[in-house]
Amino acid sequence: WFGFAYDVDGESAAAGDDITGFETLTLSSYDIDGGGGDQVYMAMVLDLTYPAAVSCTLPAGYVETSLGEDCNDSDVSVGPAGLGEDCDGNCLSGDAPVAIIFTDNGVYDSECSWNITDGDGNIVATSDGNQSGTDTTQHCFDFAGGCFDLNLFDAYSDGWGASGGLNHTLTVGDSAYTFEPYAGSSVSGAASNADNIFSHVIGGGCVTACADSAANNANFDADIIDNSLCTYDYVQGCMDSTACNYNSDAEQDDNSCTYAETGFDCDGNCLVGTFTSISVREVASWGSTYSLLQYGGSWDLVDLSTGSSMVAATSDDESLCLPDGCYEISGTSGSGPTYPFGYSIDGAAYVVPGSTSGSDILDLGSSCTFGCTDSAAFNYDSGALVDDGSCIAVVQGCMDSTACNYDSAANTDDSSCTYAQANYDCAGNCLTTPLEITVTVCTEASEVRLTGPWWSWDPNGGPVAAANGDGTFTFTFCPAPSADMEYLLVVDGVQENLITAPHPDMDGDGYGDMWDCATVTDYWSYANRVWSVGSGNASVTYGTCGSCSDVYGCMDVTACNFDSTANVMDYNLCTYPDSGFNCDGVALCSLVDEDADGVNSCDDCNDSDASASVDLGCGCGEPAAATGYDCAGNCLADADGDGICDEFEVDGCTDITALNYSASATDDDGSCEYSTAGNPCDYVPTGLSTDNVIHNRVRFNWASATVAPSHYMIRYRPVGTNNWTVITAGTVNTNEFNGTSRTRWWMSPGTTYEWNIRARKLNADGTVNCQSAWSMPDQFTTLPECPNLENLSVSTEAIWATFGADVSASEEVDVWQTRAKLREVGTNAFRYVFGDADGISSTKGNFEPSTDYEWHTKAWCTGNVDSDGNSDPMYHSGWGEYAPFSTQAPCDKMPYNFATTSNNAQTAITMSWNTPLTGAPDHYFLYLENLGTGDVYAWNDIPGEATSKTKYNLTPGEYAWKIRGACGTEGTSWATTFSQPIPYTLGGAKLENSSVANLDVYPNPSRDIFNVTFTSEEEQTMTVKVVNMIGEEIFTEELTEFVGQYTKVIDMNNQPKGVYFLEIITSTGGINKKIVLQ
């Protein structure tokens, strides 16, 4: 035997000793084969005198000896020996056997196990694994004389006995230990986890003593600490006066101070708020509750006023002081919807606010404020803690009711408001009565202007008429002028001359004698048109007071030969009847009784009949028509077509069921009154009808209610569909609603709908008290969609643009009005273009050159026509998508270096210039005027390559000419401005070189300043100016009666680089010089 650490018959022995003859061998460890390494630590007593044929079978986990497998080989019923026992059940150590009985009184006992360890941690007794039912075990250890730890284990990690919910009892010897159910932590793991182990000190040999180091009887070897046994040299106690257990008699602080929990006083009362216990669980549908945290759930309690969490939420149960406030309790189950989150307040029944997760509001002290908590909502309430579902979505749009695009549904202004032009409404209509002057041009024309004193008689200074596409042009003044307007017409740059207009020459002097269109005239030198305030719109013909094809005739309606087709009055043609006769030669009746029949001749319809028959208006001898009727008995006026003449109509209540029914009333005036007794829900609405129907709008109508409800419910749907759209009519409150109509927008065009209505009555709290049955249905069909214009086009020339757009080819609707509006890209200032039923064809001016614009159109369709024949203004297409267009750059083809010469006979003037530095234009416009007579000579198509023009057959006098270059091939709009007038005296003294001498400009070129010097050798009035390439004046100085040396510094530092011209103009001529700014 190769043993060690053993004794024989109580005597110590060592390895290798001969133990023959000894009776007992007590082993604490042994080595099976003497090789070491496989030693087994155990407590065993071997009977060396026992027959060799008998051996002990050890419990599982122990090394079997060579003595055999059973305590009694001959009796297989004898089991193995117990821990520390021989085969007779005697304790080998001599200790008394200890009976251990485990009794469970609940379920899930298989989760529980135990062991007993000595002071060195050695296991002296253990369960056979997990318990099941009642277990009785006997072990050998000195329970009465030793001190041991009883350790309890929970394999499932939910606390000893927690699942069963009942007590377990472990009896060791004569001591019984009862363990109440305990909910362990949520930490899962093996039984060795400290959160799932519960130890208890047991045994009769345990030392109980004081372990306080401050005591004079402290025993730090005590198994069980009981500081109530301590004795001290000084009075012990808590010496902190803020502690709950402060002892004013204490002489030595014993670290026993206890303090109130945060938020509580020493008696456990809340310092602020109310003591509140909160429990959270997973709540099964059958009512059982389970730990929320253990199964992966979570929860929180949040103060909504601060957003702060009020609990640590590390336990299923929390107790705290909650001040009055508004709180949200929320949680999520880790086990899904079968075990949803639930909570209990102060022991009340568990509340389950959701399926898996949920939340509730706790309102303590009515502290919650309700409102919209969505910061993105229109009615966001920053003071609201709880959302009450009242949030209203932000609807952006124009909120200015005076704007053209006012959106009544908008609640947030997005600065998109657009406004009508001054004096116009949003549809482009003049707000006041406009003046329209329509001009007929007998030949083809591209531009028609006005000129007159308002425009300094500049033929290019007045407004431009809009082309109507039929050879006529219209000027529109909105508002109409407030003073009389003298004017003449200018067509393609040529001003009309009414002196030579085609009028009848009554006196043979070669001039027309009818000056009805030329109010301001001296009949030989000029004749001008005048529009007078209050005279209304005018229609005129260019160059004449008549028309393009004058028809001469008698225009006197009293004449016998009045000619309704004539447009020029010729008094010579008029013939008149003789006095007392008509145009047929029949004598006029007299006011005397010529035949003595008692009836004046004018009233006698049968003068040959002595009995006389008087025509009272309905024929000779017929009775006169009754008052209000014609001779046939028909009403002279019957506006409503009911057969009752308007003058005999009687307004009143015509409903016989009304309280104030009037039998004499012929027209119902809406004054009927009805009994208000009864329940409105007993009356099904009647009299359904619709009107004001357009493509996207309808007005629902019904008869006045017998008893007024709180409001009505209207439902509608397209015929053939199943889903109703339901709307209310009237404010949803308890007040009576007596309305009989409701307008609805957002309908679909070209759709047949059915609809009906019911009455509803509300309770004071807003809930429905009752409602009537749905009425019989009614149908209506919305108008087809009003299509927008098509084929939008824009052609531009300089600052002019011609707009074109066609009405849709749709045969479903007719268009009665079209409009366009345009703006510079990136701005909101609009201009309008007015079209007609055929679309848009219009030219607009005054655009900025080299600028990007955009425009879109809108069409108004014929529909929902009123009694005056006007279509509904809301039946339109809406504004379409924008289309872009751009204007050209300014024309820079300005000639320069002007000169004027004449022939020897002084009957012709030659006007010369240099080709523009930017190249030749397409053509030139040249204007020559005799300043003495006012005669004007104009050329509109001088080729761009030309550099001079001569005018012959002139008479001596003062002249002035001006010129401009045109970049475009058509019209006059894309051109430079006219040059300054260049004076010239034909037949008199010319500007000699000696009148302006020694002209010098330096430096030239220059980067900023130019020094100009010259000498005026005689007194003269002159103008010094600098102009750019397009004729704009940069610098001007007038010199009156100037003579001598002129010196000037002209600063052009702020001007763009380029070519400019210095011009010196006198009364008899001019000089110009090119200067260059670098």
- C-alpha 942/C-alpha 1013 separation (Å) is 36
For residue 147, is it within any domain? yes
For residue 31, is it within any domain? no
| Same-domain status, 918 and 1056 | yes
Helix and strand numbers, DSSP H then E, in the chain? 0, 68
pLDDT reported for residue 657:
61
For residue 475, is it within any domain? yes
| Same-domain status, 358 and 469 | no
**Residue range 883-906: mean pLDDT, rounded:** 88
pLDDT reported for residue 201:
79
Condensed to tens digits (0 to 9), the pLDDT of residues 76-115 reads 333 444 556 666 666 766 566 776 776 655 555 666 677 7
pLDDT reported for residue 332:
92
pLDDT reported for residue 604:
55
Confidence of residue 430 (pLDDT cuts 50, 70, 90): confident
Is the Cβ–Cβ distance between 53 and 68 less than 8 Å? yes
For residue 441, is it within any domain? yes
Q: Which domain holds residue 476?
A: 435-542
Single out the residue in 542, 559, 591 at which a domain terminates: 542
Residue 1012 has pLDDT above 70, yes or no: yes
- C-alpha 823/C-alpha 510 separation (Å) is 53
Residue 618 has pLDDT above 60, yes or no: yes
% of the chain with per-residue pLDDT over 90? 23
- C-alpha 811/C-alpha 860 separation (Å) is 15
Is the Cβ–Cβ distance between 554 and 564 less than 8 Å? no
For residue 170, is it within any domain? yes
pLDDT reported for residue 985:
85
**Residue range 840-856: mean pLDDT, rounded:** 89
CA dihedral sign, ordered 152, 158, 164, 167: positive
Single out the residue in 368, 386, 402 at which a domain terminates: 368
- C-alpha 45/C-alpha 60 separation (Å) is 18
**Residue range 1046-1070: mean pLDDT, rounded:** 85
At 752, which CATH number?
Answer: 2.60.40.10
| Same-domain status, 881 and 917 | no
pLDDT reported for residue 68:
35
- DSSP code, position 261: P
Condensed to tens digits (0 to 9), the pLDDT of residues 46-62 reads 555 544 434 444 444 44
Domain count, the chain: 6
| Same-domain status, 349 and 452 | no
> Strands (DSSP E) along 452-588, which ranges?
466-467, 472-477, 485-491, 494-495, 520-521, 527-531, 538-541, 552-553, 568-569
For residue 702, is it within any domain? yes
| Same-domain status, 833 and 971 | no
| Same-domain status, 877 and 947 | no
**Residue range 701-712: mean pLDDT, rounded:** 92
Of 201-205, 522-526, 584-588, which has the strongest mean pLDDT? Answer: 201-205
- C-alpha 228/C-alpha 209 separation (Å) is 9
Confidence of residue 1 (pLDDT cuts 50, 70, 90): very low
Return phi, psi of residue 635, to 5°: -60, 135
**For the ranges 437-446, 666-675, 989-998, 1042-1051, which has the lowest average pLDDT?**
989-998
For residue 378, is it within any domain? no
Residue 69 has pLDDT above 60, yes or no: no
**Residue range 122-132: mean pLDDT, rounded:** 66
| Same-domain status, 1040 and 935 | yes
| Same-domain status, 1072 and 927 | yes
CA dihedral sign, ordered 535, 541, 542, 543: negative
Return phi, psi of residue 427, to 5°: -85, 5
Confidence of residue 701 (pLDDT cuts 50, 70, 90): very high
Confidence of residue 191 (pLDDT cuts 50, 70, 90): very low
Q: Which residues of 606-626 are buried (b: 16+ CB within 10 A; e: fewer)?
A: beeeeebbbeeeeeeeeeebe
Single out the residue in 542, 569, 593 at which a domain terminates: 542
User: Does residue 388 or residue 619 have the better pLDDT?
Assistant: 388
pLDDT reported for residue 2:
44
pLDDT reported for residue 760:
93
| Same-domain status, 473 and 530 | yes
**For the ranges 883-897, 933-947, 1055-1069, which has the lowest average pLDDT?**
1055-1069
Give which of 223, 354, 210, 373 is closest to 282, Cα–Cα.
Answer: 354
**Residue range 255-273: mean pLDDT, rounded:** 86
For residue 157, is it within any domain? yes
With a threshold of 0.75, does the pTM exceed it? no
User: Does residue 295 or residue 101 have the better pLDDT?
Assistant: 295
Confidence of residue 572 (pLDDT cuts 50, 70, 90): low
Condensed to tens digits (0 to 9), the pLDDT of residues 641-681 reads 878 888 888 888 887 666 777 878 888 888 877 665 678 88
Condensed to tens digits (0 to 9), the pLDDT of residues 808-847 reads 988 889 999 999 999 999 988 888 888 999 999 998 888 8
| Same-domain status, 912 and 1024 | yes
pLDDT reported for residue 683:
86
**Residue range 131-158: mean pLDDT, rounded:** 68
Average pLDDT, the chain: 79
% of the chain with per-residue pLDDT over 70? 75
pLDDT reported for residue 927:
92
pLDDT reported for residue 1027:
85
pLDDT reported for residue 602:
55
User: Does residue 625 or residue 927 have the better pLDDT?
Assistant: 927
Residue 163 has pLDDT above 50, yes or no: no
Exposed, middle or buried: residue 275 (CB in 10 Å: 0-12, 13-18, 19+)?
middle
| Same-domain status, 760 and 849 | no
CA 396 to chain centre: 4
**Residue range 360-369: mean pLDDT, rounded:** 87
Long-range contacts of 900-904 (CB under 8 A, 24+ apart): 900/961, 900/982, 900/984, 900/1069, 902/984, 902/986, 902/987
CA distances from 416 to 329, 400, 403, 425, 829 (A): 45, 10, 9, 17, 11
**Residue range 143-154: mean pLDDT, rounded:** 76
Residue 158 has pLDDT above 80, yes or no: no
Is the Cβ–Cβ distance between 239 and 253 less than 8 Å? yes
pLDDT reported for residue 136:
63
- C-alpha 488/C-alpha 517 separation (Å) is 10
| Same-domain status, 882 and 912 | no
- C-alpha 900/C-alpha 962 separation (Å) is 11
